[in-house]
């Protein structure tokens, strides 16, 4: 299996390439295609990145080549990590509609090229933000089951880690998923949390202890209040303050602080992306979470969901198959429906465009 990384020289793209090789997800007989933009700074740097990766990993590196034209992208799995991101500085933010305006053209160009020149079987993992827009654009061109956004898996890993920290455990002992929109509009599905070694009663007690009576009805207000408070603190005090927040809020606020600290979240983002790539390449079907284009196959709160939404899905070598959103708690269903509406509204201006 071969992998192409669009935006390979960016912070996330470079980490994806490095981790793919470090974690030996790609054997030496596979091909890693580094995709940059002809004429842009990434055009020259893509050749340099190829040389640097071979320098570092010659013993077990896959075959590495460079493509600078969307028509030349050839791979079984394509990672979309090209495009602009929000400024990585305190208070530095552009809203998602500005990010959409900047990145729609980039994603649409590759979507058209893959539809025209691709094999018809590529699986595409979308990293570029807004993830939901990337999924919508690519799913329309390639078919919805071949396209998955990795934001919900990253949010899921963050949520599991924060739950694990609160329980004094390591992340691998925690199950459970995050749904919704990537970023501050996520939906932590507390009802899906599992803790290895605990039976149902013990788990309920543990989860109730972590939630301390809070419901998701106040989540947005809590996120906004935490962000306001942290902006007034120096970064060390801000991280200390984050540690005192409830686990689900920490899953949102800690990465936000990390991005605005200037460090960005490239390593964690790439780690979650490579998890999904490993799953696709593995050949087995595994439940992950991802942003996918729904077509009415799931009913939440009596409503058939359509449009892009982050959800637990079964992912395999040909893309995602089933969505698993059964038996949500009332506050989860309510927040998920509101979130679906917000995504729908944010994507509406782009629906008519190619």
Ligand X SMILES: NC(=O)c1ccc[n+]([C@@H]2O[C@H](COP(=O)([O-])OP(=O)(O)OC[C@H]3O[C@@H](n4cnc5c(N)ncnc54)[C@H](O)[C@@H]3O)[C@@H](O)[C@H]2O)c1
Q: Which residues bind ligand X (CB under 6 A)?
A: 6-7, 9-13, 35-37, 40-42, 81-85, 103, 106, 127-129, 131, 150-151, 154, 182, 264-266, 269
- Min. distance of Cβ 291 from ligand X in angstroms? 9
Q: What is the dihedral of CA 255, 260, 263, 264, to 10 degrees?
A: 60
End-to-end Cα distance, the chain:
29
Nearer to ligand X, 310 or 319 (CB): 310
Strands (E) in the chain, as ranges, are: 3-6, 31-35, 63-67, 77-80, 123-126, 147-149, 174-180, 186-195, 286-300, 303-316, 319-323
Query: Do residues 34 and 61 make contact, with C-beta atoms less than 8 angstroms apart?
Result: no
- Min. distance of Cβ 178 from ligand X in angstroms? 11
Nearer to ligand X, 104 or 146 (CB): 104
Nearer to ligand X, 36 or 118 (CB): 36
Q: Tokens at residue 182, please?
A: 């990537």
The per-residue DSSP string of 276-305 comes to HHHHHHH-S-EEEEEEEEEEEEEEETTEEE
Cα–Cα distance measured from residue 206 to residue 343, given in angstroms and rounded to the nearest whole number:
32
- Which residue in the shown chain puts its C-beta closest to ligand X? 10
| DSSP element (H, E) containing 251 | helix 247-260
Cα–Cα distance measured from residue 330 to residue 300, given in angstroms and rounded to the nearest whole number:
10
Nearer to ligand X, 79 or 207 (CB): 79
- Min. distance of Cβ 188 from ligand X in angstroms? 16
Nearer to ligand X, 142 or 272 (CB): 272
Q: Tokens at residue 243, please?
A: 């540690």
Query: Do residues 82 and 37 make contact, with C-beta atoms less than 8 angstroms apart?
Result: yes
**DSSP reduced 3-state for 315:** strand
- Min. distance of Cβ 184 from ligand X in angstroms? 12
Nearer to ligand X, 139 or 169 (CB): 139
The DSSP bridge partners found for residue 299 are: 304
What are the C-alpha distances in Å from 4 to residues 62, 104, 262, 304? 12, 19, 27, 35
């Amino acid at each position: 299996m071969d992998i192409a990384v669009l935006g390979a020289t960016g912070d996330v793209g470079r980490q994806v390439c490095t981790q793919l090789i470090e974690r030996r997800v790609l054997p030496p007989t596979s091909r890693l295609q580094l995709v940059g933009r002809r004429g842009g700074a990434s055009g020259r740097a893509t050749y340099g990145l190829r040389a640097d990766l071979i320098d570092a990993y010659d013993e077990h590196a896959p075959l590495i080549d460079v493509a600078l034209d969307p028509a030349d992208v050839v791979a079984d799995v394509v990672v979309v990590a090209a495009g602009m991101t929000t400024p990585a500085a305190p208070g530095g933010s552009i809203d998602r509609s500005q990010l959409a305006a900047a990145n729609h053209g980039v994603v649409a160009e590759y979507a058209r090229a893959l539809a025209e020149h691709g094999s018809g079987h590529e699986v595409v993992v979308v990293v570029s933000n807004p993830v939901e827009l990337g999924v919508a654009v690519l799913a329309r061109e390639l078919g919805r089951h071949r396209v998955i956004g990795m934001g919900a898996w990253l949010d899921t890993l963050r949520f599991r880690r924060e739950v694990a920290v609160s329980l004094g455990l390591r992340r691998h002992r925690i199950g459970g998923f995050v749904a919704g929109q990537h970023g501050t509009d996520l939906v932590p599905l507390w009802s899906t949390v599992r803790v290895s070694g605990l039976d149902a009663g013990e788990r309920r007690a543990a989860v109730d202890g972590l939630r301390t009576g809070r419901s998701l009805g106040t989540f947005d207000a809590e996120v906004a209040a935490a962000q306001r408070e942290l902006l007034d603190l120096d970064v060390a005090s801000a991280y200390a303050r984050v540690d005192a927040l409830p686990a689900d809020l920490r899953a949102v606020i800690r990465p936000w602080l990390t991005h605005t600290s200037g460090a960005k979240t490239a390593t964690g983002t790439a780690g979650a992306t490579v998890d999904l790539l490993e799953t696709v390449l593995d050949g087995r079907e595994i439940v992950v979470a991802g942003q996918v284009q729904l077509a009415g196959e799931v009913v939440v709160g009596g409503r058939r969901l359509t449009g892009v939404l982050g959800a637990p899905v079964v992912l395999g070598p040909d893309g995602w198959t089933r969505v698993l959103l059964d038996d949500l708690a009332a506050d989860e269903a309510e927040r998920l429906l509101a979130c679906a509406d917000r995504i729908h509204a944010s994507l509406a201006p782009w629906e008519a465009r190619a």
